[in-house]
Structure 1
Amino acid sequence: MPTTEEPVHHELQCLYREHREWLVGWLRTRLRCHHQAADIAQDTFLRLLGRGQPMAIERPRAYLSTIANGLVVGLWRREQIERAYLEALAARADACTPSEEERALVFEALERVARLLDGLPLRVREAFLLSRLDGLGYAQIAERQGVSVNAVQKSMLRAYRHCYQLLYG
């Protein structure tokens, strides 16, 4: 008796065979690294496998490149977060070198925060980070952003509402 997973796996196998090499080449032009391109291509197909649903894909290359592009953006964001963290760590006079495990945990937490704040306007994100990470008060944030305290309060409310909806909504 065939399971519902068999057609999905068969579709994915065909998609993989027919488009993997193209996808790796497409990614290689963007990443300029064959190994990263192969990893992202593999992650793209894993995303599809994780969906476990039949795929009625009319334009497979457009579909695959959209998923892969999202993964590339995520990779670049992680690299940017890691660089910013390492620069901030190097700038601290009292900095002791964290272990690889501690660094991985910090990078993971920073990535979660970045994903959580995606979709918020820049001024709202900045106000939230200045408050939560830098410990600035609303008056200090207002002065730095050149807005009223009331505008900062509204930004913070919007940021909290956004985070709450993503986490619990």
Structure 2
Amino acid sequence: MKTEGSSFSFLGGGVALLCAMMLLLGGCMSPHSVQPNAKVSFSYVAVDPETKETVASGTKKDMLLDFTGTALYQLLEGAKKDEVRTGILTDPLTQHDDSLLQKQTSVVLAEMGLPSEVGTRVTMGDASFLTTAVVTEDGVEQVVLDGNPVETIVPLNWSFTITEIK
């Protein structure tokens, strides 16, 4: 009987030791680099490659990188905490809102004294737009105006600094 009790006690101690090791290693089991389905916190800066002006900056906390086909994931894949990754990207934070696109005829813009060349900034009232395309629909030249922030429209030089990986 004494042997059975000590076997049980040894087994219980082994389970306790295993549980303690799992708790200690829990922090070690978190990803050390950006991998699929990682939650990543980072700071970012977006700079216009031509003017060298900062267009956007900020932080994101616990952003789930769940699609490996995105340009942002491809840039950050394998990055470690405190590492900086830089690349030319368009809308890496996927914030472009298609409902802010509108079309206006070239004739109307010309009558208003506004340019219709692609890449020009157009202001109408309080709203500002970037001309992103000129298309012909039913024989009428239409200018596509995008009211989104510039960092969601044009390629910029983005720098991301990884602050946490979960």
Please tell me the TM-score bracket, short chain as reference. under 0.3
Structure with the larger helix share: 1
TM-score (norm 2): 0.24
Structure with the larger strand share: 2
TM-score (norm 1): 0.24
Point out which structure has higher relative CO (alpha carbons under 8 A, 6+ apart).
2
Larger radius of gyration: 2
